[in-house]
Amino acid sequence: MSKFSLEPHGILVSEVHRNATPAFLYEAALRHEKGSTISSTGALIAYSGKKTGRSPTDKRVVDEPEVRDEVWWGNVNIKLDPHSFDINRERAIDYLNTRERLYVVDGYGGWDPSYRLKIRVICARAYHALFMHNMLIRPKADELEDFGTPDYVIFNAGGFPANKHTAGMTSSTSIDLSFGKREFVILGTEYAGEMKKGVFTIMNYLMPKRGVLSMHCSATQARDGSDTSVLFGLSGTGKTTLSADPKRLLIGDDEHCWSDDGIFNIEGGCYAKVIDLSKEQEPDIWNALGYGAVLENVVFDPFTRVVDYTDVSITQNTRGSYPLDVIPNAKIPAVGGHPKNVIFLTCDAFGVLPPVAKLTPAQAMYHFISGYTAKVAGTEVGVKDPEATFSACFGGPFLVWHPTKYAELLADKLRKHGAQTWLVNTGWSGGGHGVGARMKLKFTRAIIDAIHSGALDKVATVDDPVFGVAVPTECPGVPTEILVPRNTWADKAAYDAQAKKVATLFRDNFKKYEAQASDEIRAAGPRV
């Protein structure tokens, strides 16, 4: 790799390791990065420092003429002056130029060659290089030789802070994206997930311009290739668990696009939460965390190097990164046909949504824009009662266009390809958290199986009087009495009050989107 130079990017460091092997990156991390070690299973253990999660309030998008009228400006996409971006970019390059050695990862975002982006990552830490080696799609030798000019460059100078006095800065962390310059600059955070989500944000802008729906979801395919499904869901809804289905092939666990040709994964790997990970509950993830994987911010036994996945003393956001192809049932290349089923997962801790419901296209758009789940008491500091959480399109922090843009694309795909949308509640039944019980995983799996088999297409439904969705009256493998949530509550009046409360939360949240939503979408919400 001696011929490779970063001079076109203003970087003059002589020791540059481009697309180094995992073995080389292991050695470099162990030699140069404090705290790095190898777990008992062979994964590289690394630490991101003070920041152990994303910094959404520090993310900026450069206010440039070519994107000014397209970006959904606000709390998700905070404006940054081009001059401030130039200052941060120069600060990042100056820092990278002070390093003895740098690492470059050239890879692709998007498995479909028609839509893939060439991404270049320039970083100072071997762990970051190994992480992106996993998360980007790895070029073959001839593709790397002919890689040419990248479409986007990520300058990861996370070990150096932003200058808080630079206009637009609110802290020493700044994550800046310039669509005009096609560059992404990271300062003041070494959390690896910022790079991954940077790529997703870029795709979230570019793909809708080409009529392609970018999605924060998992995707699976029948082993015989007969059908494809996508599963949307926020943290804690069971998206990862339910997509790890031995009866189906895994296309991907987190980020996909839906084009006129079908769906494709954006990533070459998976980035899974590993808090409370067990071999029994998540065997595929457990087995994937061997050689080549990165374990981020975990606690381990200093003698045995066995990781304690229950220990949250560093962070609750412990993570594991691994290539997609170590999953036994992974579909490589990670592409699939048009989905027959689109599944919205929610963990309703209030216990009022049905375990499964069929949605009309308008309801699908409403619930997609809403992106509802609920935090459960006891899982986060300060959460005493269930709290509703809404994240537009099930990926609010990474949207670039207004949520209705993605909802309209989804509706178009649903109509064009005849896909059915389902709402599946993996949360509580018989009462809210503290009164009822969480839906058994075996029942949820049976519901997903029935969706895939087509069994639910043929059964009678009843309309939920509050949420207006069509609730199946029977489902193979699921007790009939739990399908209508009101029937599971001992106190019917309490159910009615709680359902009205949640419906009102939906309505209140949707107010910020009403101006750009059609009458049909607005009418598809709960009946309050």
What CATH number is attached to the domain comprising 368?
3.90.228.20
Which structural domain range is residue 313 located in? 270-326
pLDDT for 1: 41
Percent of the chain at pLDDT > 70 equals: 98
The count of domains in the chain is 3
| pLDDT at residue 381 tops 60 | no
Q: Looking at the domain assignment, is residue 278 inside a domain?
A: yes
Active site residues: 54, 197, 216, 235, 239-240, 254, 319
C-alpha 397/C-alpha 391 separation (Å) is: 8
CB 439 within 8 A of CB 237: no
Angle between helix axes 403-417 and 193-209 (nearest 10 degrees) is: 60
Q: Is this structure's pTM higher than 0.85?
A: yes
Tokens of 267: 């990533």
Same domain, 105 and 159: yes
C-alpha 283/C-alpha 427 separation (Å) is: 22
Same domain, 413 and 302: no
Same domain, 376 and 299: no
C-alpha 87/C-alpha 486 separation (Å) is: 58
Question: To which residue do tokens 């750009």 refer?
Answer: 516
The stretches of 222-322 forming alpha helices (DSSP H) are 239-243, 283-288
Same domain, 358 and 300: no
Same domain, 355 and 278: no
pLDDT for 375: 77
Same domain, 390 and 319: no
C-alpha 115/C-alpha 456 separation (Å) is: 35
Q: Looking at the domain assignment, is residue 17 inside a domain?
A: yes
Q: Looking at the domain assignment, is residue 424 inside a domain?
A: yes
CB 30 within 8 A of CB 114: no
Same domain, 115 and 139: yes
Tens digit of each residue's pLDDT (9 = 90 or more) over 334-377: 999 999 999 999 999 999 999 999 999 999 999 999 999 997 64
Residue 506: how many CA atoms within 13 Å on its side-chain side? 30
Tens digit of each residue's pLDDT (9 = 90 or more) over 129-187: 999 999 999 999 999 999 999 999 999 999 999 999 999 999 999 999 999 999 999 99
Q: Looking at the domain assignment, is residue 70 inside a domain?
A: yes
CB 176 within 8 A of CB 62: yes
Q: Looking at the domain assignment, is residue 355 inside a domain?
A: yes
C-alpha 46/C-alpha 123 separation (Å) is: 15
217 vs 235, 344, 394, 421, CA distance in Å?
Answer: 11, 9, 8, 14
Q: Looking at the domain assignment, is residue 414 inside a domain?
A: yes
Same domain, 29 and 152: yes
Q: Does the bond joining 339 to the residue before it have cis omega, within 30 degrees of 0? A: no
* Terminal CA-CA length for the chain: 64
Q: Looking at the domain assignment, is residue 427 inside a domain?
A: yes
Q: Looking at the domain assignment, is residue 253 inside a domain?
A: no
pLDDT for 379: 43
Same domain, 198 and 312: no
Same domain, 286 and 350: no
What CATH number is attached to the domain comprising 319?
2.170.8.10
Same domain, 321 and 343: no
Tokens of 310: 């229950």
Average pLDDT on 499-510 reads: 97
Same domain, 321 and 371: no
